[in-house]
Amino acid sequence: MITLLLIFFPLIAALLLLFTKGEQVKQIALGATIIEFAIAIFAVTQYQHGNTTQFEASYPWISSLGINFHVGMDGISLLMVLLTTFLVPIIILTSFNKDYRNPSRFYSLVLAMQFALVGVFVSLDGFLFYIFWELALIPIYFICLLWGGEGRAKITFKFFVYTLTGSLFMLGALIYLYLHTEGTHSFDIAAIYKAGQGLNAIHQGYVFLAIFIAFAIKMPIFPFHTWQPDTYTVAPAQGTMLLAGIMLKMGTYGVIRWLLPVAPLGVAHWSNVAITLSVIGIVYASCIAIVQKDFKRLIAYSSIAHVGLISAGILACNVQGVQGGMLQMISHGVNVVGLFFIVDILQKRYGTRDIDSLGGIRNLNPQFAVLFLFVLLGSVALPLTNGFVGEFLLLNGVFQFNPWIAAFAGLSVILGAVYMLRSYQSIMLGETNALTGSFAPLSQSEKTVLVILCIAIIGFGVYPKPLLDIAEPSVVKLVDGVRLAMGK
């Protein structure tokens, strides 16, 4: 019941918003998402720690094809829902100083996006998962197309076609698995797992590749990343936050839920390749980030590096890796939203994102400098910030898989520090120049967002246990199941 509420509340709110006019649209959208967050928190309090799927609901949908509206949450899903419901109100709050054309449509699309995202994270039926997966693409496409920056038509279209292509591969694999389920076929997750694990190693390899491409494009992993920097740069600030903060996690979550247990032998066979690609992505994206002049683009590349580490850890398929991946998904979501918000703040005040032309802002507004520093340190994974715990677990997981790969993956920490600290130095420190002559003080909403994010960064850096506890039993169960099927 609670799961249904979580899925459909944003949809209803989105439809209502569409017919709302005037200034209060923002407030209503914020209110709705805060209520949604409250529902998620309530779900956490009701959640019985353990490795079972809870809050399940299942209704026949297209029963002649064995498709059910089957949703539910275990620890992994719950954590992702928590991330989504936490970030969306923050993202809406970041837009409070902005006036978009047709605000009711804009916020309605954001809420529709939330509907699809929550749906992706709680689906326990392959067909339903695919529908939500695709559904998430439509609102974000229109958010970027209607409110994006220069050259958006081409770039967002590339993004759309790229992800759609990947999804179609996944659809092919899902149909293939569906046809191998027992009896009158079914899309239920348990049946799909069973069908996948029943295939021989070669066929599991094909299934792995088909599904992996979909997720690899969504995350994105090298060499499927070419849509990402342009799309992140051209999207409106809130669109970028949605893309990087939450939508990217659809891919990593997908790997955990719909790839590892579906094709364990495929994972065993291809994980070397997939992890190597992820690690190449880390080093490659970090190197490009170092030479970026556009701060937004720099963060886009840093996002490729971070997600590369997450995917490497998850694909290593051990408890540390997956657990680290879960935690890092949360941390990355929080940090990247913070960073893109800082870009937005700078751009609004100076009309530029060029790192070199900014400078000396710390002297003008020390408060902003401190908040920026916290977000940045979280992003470079300094101990006692949220990024550290996740990254440590991830590297640990990759190390167990292969120490050499882990050594290269570890470069992400060093290179990350290089480009982040360099940009902080260039933007905030040094002499105030003609462009940065004055800095309009942070507005109330800006301050609120940054403070909440900083609390989250420090809070979960010092005490990550509640988050780890939610996911751990489910992660252990899933990883054990996969390793058993691998024969390890």
Partner 1 sequence: MKALILLSSLGVISLLAELFSFKKLLYPLVLLGLIATFVFNICDWNATNNVFYKMLQFDNYAIAFSSVIIIIAFLWFLMAEGFFKEETNLTDHYALVLFALVGAVILTSYTNMAMLFLGIEILSIPMYILVGSSKNDLSSNEASFKYLIMGAFATGFLLFGIALIYGATGSFDLTEIKTAISSAGVTPQIFYVGMLLMLVGLSFKVSAVPFHFWAPDVYEGAPTVITAFMATIVKLAAFAAFLRLFDVTFYRVSGSWGLVVWMLAALTMLVGNITAVFQTRVKRMLAYSSVAHAGYMLLALLAANHYSNSAILFYGTAYSIGSIATFTIVSIVAGARGDDGIHSFNGLGKSNPMLAVVMTIALLSLAGIPPTAGFFAKYYIFTSSFIAGNVGLVLIAIIASLIGVYYYFRLIIAMYFKEGNHEAIPLDLNHKLLLIVTAIAILVLGICPDFIIRLL
177 vs 405, beta carbon nearer partner 1: 177
Check: CB of residue 207 under 8 Å from CB of residue 258: no
Closer residue to partner 1 (CB): 171 or 195: 171
Tell me the closest approach of the beta carbon of residue 109 to partner 1, in angstroms: 12
Instruction: Give me the least distance between CB of 375 and partner 1, in Å please.
Output: 33
Euclidean distance between CA atoms 108 and 310, whole angstroms: 31
Type of residue found at 164 = L
- Tokens 């050259």 sit on residue: 151
The nearer residue to partner 1, 138 or 451, going by C-beta atoms, is 138
Q: Which is nearer to partner 1, 207 or 285 (CB)?
A: 207
Question: Minimum Å distance from CB 168 to partner 1?
Answer: 5
The beta-carbon contacts of 479-485 under 8 Å, at least 24 apart in sequence, are 479/260, 479/317, 479/318, 479/319, 479/322, 481/261, 482/260, 482/261, 482/264, 482/267, 482/317, 483/264, 483/317, 483/318, 485/197, 485/261, 485/264, 485/265
CB nearer to partner 1: pick between 178 and 208: 178
Smallest gap, in angstroms, from Cβ of residue 449 to partner 1?
29
397 to each of 254, 400, 407, how far by Cα in Å? Answer: 19, 5, 12
| Residue 362 C-beta: closest distance to partner 1, Å | 40
- Residue of 375, 376, 377, 356 lying closest to 436 (CA atoms): 356
Task: Answer for the pair 326, 478: CB distance below 8 angstroms, yes or no.
Answer: no
70 SS3 class = strand
CB of 411 to partner 1, least distance (A): 36
Shortest spacing between CB 370 and partner 1, in angstroms: 41
Q: What is the dihedral of CA 298, 299, 304, 308, to 10 degrees?
A: 120
Q: Which is nearer to partner 1, 227 or 372 (CB)?
A: 227
Q: Are residues 243 and 141 in contact, defined by beta-carbon separation less than 8 angstroms?
A: no
Q: Nearer to partner 1 by C-beta: 160 or 419?
A: 160
Q: Which amino acid is at 282?
A: I
What is the rounded distance in angstroms from the CA atom of residue 398 to the CA atom of residue 439? 44
Give every CB contact of residue 291 below 8 A, 6+ residues apart in sequence. Answer: none
CB of 151 to partner 1, least distance (A): 11
Is 271:205 a contact under the CB 8 Å cutoff? no
Query: Helix crossing, 444-462 with 386-401: angle to 10°?
Result: 50
**Residue labelled with tokens 């002499």:** 431
Task: Considering the complex, state which of residue 172 and residue 410 has its C-beta at the smaller distance from partner 1.
Answer: 172
- Give the pair of three-digit tokens for residue 407: 């050594």
Rounded to the nearest whole angstrom, what is the least distance from the CB of residue 480 to partner 1 in the complex? 33
- In the complex with partner 1, the residue whose CB is nearer, 135 or 280, is 135
Q: Which is nearer to partner 1, 106 or 341 (CB)?
A: 106
Closest distance of CB 297 from partner 1, Å: 22
Binding residues for partner 1 (CB under 8 A) = 61-65, 130-131, 134-135, 137-138, 142, 145-146, 152-153, 157, 160-161, 164-165, 168, 171-172, 175-176, 178-179
Quick check: 76 and 478 in contact, CB under 8 A?
yes
